Structure 1
C-alpha cells in the first residue's frame, strides 16, 4: 500500500466492499503508519480508506461514512482534534466512533481527545494487534447502535441522542430533524437549540437524583411537540423521544358544533387550555386585540359572556377536550 493511493477518487459507499469486517478510515500524515495499519486491517478483512490531511479526512468521511475512524491527533494544518469536532458537528458523521492515535500521553491531550468526541485512544508507536482489538470492541457497539437507529428510521420514530457536554446531537432520525426545524428553527448542523439543551441538562440532573424527568411541551398552532428524556446511552449522552400531538380534529369539531370560523375555533380551543389572550396571540401569530375580537364573536355565537362560561360549554359539548 502506498500513500499516493490516498489521492484516488473514492467510489460511492454502495460500491465499496461491505462483506468484510467493516469500513475503516485511517487518517495520518506519516506514510509508514498508514502502510502498517492498512496491511494489518486489510489482512483482518476490513475495507480500508486513507487520508493524509484533516481536509481529506472530512471529505472521505462525508462521502463514504466509515464504520470507524482511526485519527492521528497531531497533523500539519487541521489537527485531529479539529477533525473530530467537525465530524461530530455534522448529522451524517456524528455517530461514527473515533479512535485517536497519538504519541501525546499527557493528561491534557488525552482529555482533549475525549472532549473532541473520541471514544478511545492508542499511543504511538502503533501496535497493530492492540488497534485491531480496540476497533473490534467499538465497531461492535457502533453496529448495534446503527441497527437500532435504522429500525427507528424505518418506523418513522422521532428520536435523537444529545451529548450534554458539547451541546450537540450525536445522532438523530430524519423525523426528529424535521421536528427540530419546525418547532425550534434549528439548523441541520451545529449545536442543539439552547432551550432544548437546558431542558436536557435540567432533566438529567433530576434523573441523577432518582427523580422522574419532566417532559417538554412546545406549542405550534393546534399542534404540540412533546419531548421525553428516555435513557442515558453513555456518561453524557441522553436519548430523547419526540411525539407530535395534533388536536386539529377537536378544533374542527368545535367549528361544526358552534358554527365558528377556523380562527374562532382555534381561539376557543386555547381558551379551554387556559391560555391568556397574549398567549393565544403568540401561538396564532396575532395581537391580543385581534384575539379579543375573535373571542367576542365566540361569546356571541355560544350565547355566553365570560371566558369561563365559554370554556365550560365547549368542554361539555366536545368531551375530548377534558
Structure 2
C-alpha cells in the first residue's frame, strides 16, 4: 500500500498546490481537471467517497473540491470523515453542488466545508474561491512543516518524541511520533501508533490526576539489559479541557551502558563476558539473576566471577563492585548504579 510519505515525495509541493477533485461524473472531472492543470495545479482525482478518503490520507492535498451528491457515501459524509481524522482535519473543503436550497448549503458548511460553488461548474469561479482558502492552507502547512522539522531534529541528538492525546475520558491515543520514537516503542514495548504503551499511559494519567500541569512529574524509565529508555513530559501542545485533556508532548531518550561495559573490559583487561558479569554485579544482581540475563547457568557465572576477582586482585563481590564503580565514575560520571 502506498504511504502518505511515498505520495508526498512524488508531488512537487514547492511549485504547485495539490488539489483533490471528487466527483462521480467523468465530464465534470474532465473540465475541471484540464482547467486546473493548465493553471499549474497538481490535480488528483477520485470518483467515489471511499476513493476520496484513501487519496486524501495518502496525498494530504492542499484543498479538496467535493461533489455533494454521489452514490454510496455522499460528499457530506466524506467531509465529516476528513474533518474527524487528525491527518486531514486541516484541509479546506469546497463543496460542488447543484442543490441551491438553503438547507443543503447549511449542511455542507456543517459537515466541514469552508465554501461552495454551484453547478454547472465555472472553472474561473472555482479557482478564485480556491485562491482565498489556499492562502490559509499554505500558512498552516508551513507551520506544520517547521514544527515537524524541529521535532525530528531531536532524533539526530538521540532524543525521540511522541504526542499523546488525552481527552476528557483519557483515551490516550498516540497521534504523532518521530521515526526514532516508533523504533524505540516497538523494541521496548512491542506497540505501535495509535496505541500508547500502557505503562506510559498510566504514568501520564497519574501525573494529570495528581500534579496537574504545573509540575513536571518524575521521569519514567524502563530497562532492557544494559539499556534503559526514559520518558520526560515536555509540554502540552493542544488546548486542554480543564480536566487533563489536550495533546501532550513526551520526549524519550535511550541511555546505553554498553560503553561502560567496554570501559571495564579495557580497564581491567577482562573478556567481554567477564565485563558483562562485573557490570551486573555493580548493578546489585546475584549470580542466578545474572545467569538469566546473560543466558548462562549460575555455575558459569560463578566461574566468570572468580576470574574477575583474580584480575582485579580482590577476594569478594563487594570489593570487586567497589573497584569497578570507582573506575567507572572516573570514565563515565553520568553512570547510575
- The reply to whether TM is greater than 0.5 is yes
Deviations 1:136-163 (A, max 9, x none): 5465234212223134435625223222
Alignment match, 1:228: 232
What do residues 224-272 of structure 1 show as CA deviations (whole Å, max 9, x unaligned)? 2222221111132122222222221210122234444433422432332
Which of 225, 237, 245 pairs up with 2:247?
237
The corresponding residue for 1:4 is none
The match for 1:304 among 302, 315, 335 is 315
2:260 to 231, 240, 250: 250
Q: C-alpha root-mean-square deviation of aligned residues, in Å?
A: 4.9
Q: CA deviation at 1:192?
A: 2.7
Q: Distance in 1 between matches of 2:211 and 2:324?
A: 38
Q: Structure 1 residues 270-279 or 230-239, which shifts more?
A: 270-279
- SS of residue matched to 1:159: strand
Give TM-score scaled by structure 1 length: 0.64
- 1:273 deviates by 3.3
Q: Contact conserved, 1:299 with 1:305, CA < 8 A, in 2?
A: no
Aligned to 2:156: 156
Shifted more, 243-252 versus 130-139: the winner is 130-139
Q: Does the CA contact (< 8 Å) of 1:99 and 1:122 recur in 2?
A: yes
Residues in 2 aligned to 1:130 and 1:310: alpha-carbon distance in whole angstroms:
77
Separation in structure 2 between the aligned mates of residue 23 and residue 223 of structure 1, nearest angstrom: 44
What residue is the counterpart of 1:183 in the other structure? 188
Work out whether 1:172 is the aligned partner of 2:170.
no
| More deviation, 189-198/96-105 | 96-105
- Partner in structure 1 of residue 123 of structure 2: none
Relative to structure 1, the CA distance from residue 297 to residue 172 in structure 2 (aligned partners, 3 Å threshold; closer, same or farther) is: same
Q: CA deviation at 1:130?
A: 9.5
1:282-318 superposed Cα distances (whole Å, 9 cap, x missing partner)? 7x3647xx35752563256323334x44322211232
Unaligned runs of 5+ in 2: 1-5, 96-103, 119-125, 240-245
Tell me, yes or no, if the aligned pair for 1:268 and 1:295 is still in contact at 8 Å: no
**Quick one: distance in 2 between partners of 1:62 and 1:160?**
20
1:56 positional shift: 0.9
Q: Which residue of 275, 288, 293 corresponds with 1:265? A: 275
Q: Tell me, what secondary structure is at the counterpart of 2:324? A: helix
Alpha carbons of 1:12 and 1:281: their partners in 2 closer, same or farther (altered >3 Å)? same
Distance 1:183 1:14, change over 3 A: closer
Q: Counterpart of 1:214? A: 218
My pick for the range that moved more, 311-320 or 64-73, is 64-73
Confirm or deny: 8 A CA contact 2:165 2:247 kept in the other structure: yes
Matches within 5 A, 1:92-131: 94=87, 97=90, 121-122=112-113
State the distance in 2 between where 1:266 and 1:49 align: 57
SS in 2 for 1:318: helix
Aligned equivalent of 1:313, options 305, 320, 323? 323
Q: How many residues align?
A: 291
Query: CA–CA distance in 1 between the matches of 2:80 and 2:271?
Result: 55
Whether the aligned pair in 2 keeps the contact of 1:160 and 1:176 (CA below 8 Å) is yes
Check conservation: 1:206, 1:213, Cα contact below 8 A.
no
Asked whether the equivalents of residues 73 and 101 of structure 1 are also in contact (C-alpha less than 8 Å), the reply is no
CA contact 2:165–2:174 (8 Å) conserved in 1: yes
Contact 1:73 1:81 (8 Å CA) reproduced: no
Structure 1 residues without counterparts, runs of 5 or longer: 1-10, 89-93, 114-120
Measured in 2, the distance between the counterparts of 1:285 and 1:105 equals: 67
Give the secondary-structure state (helix, strand or coil) at the position aligned to 2:156. Answer: coil
2-structure distance, mates of 1:85, 1:186:
26
User: Structure 2 matches for 1:19-34, cutoff 5 A?
Assistant: 19=14, 22-25=17-20
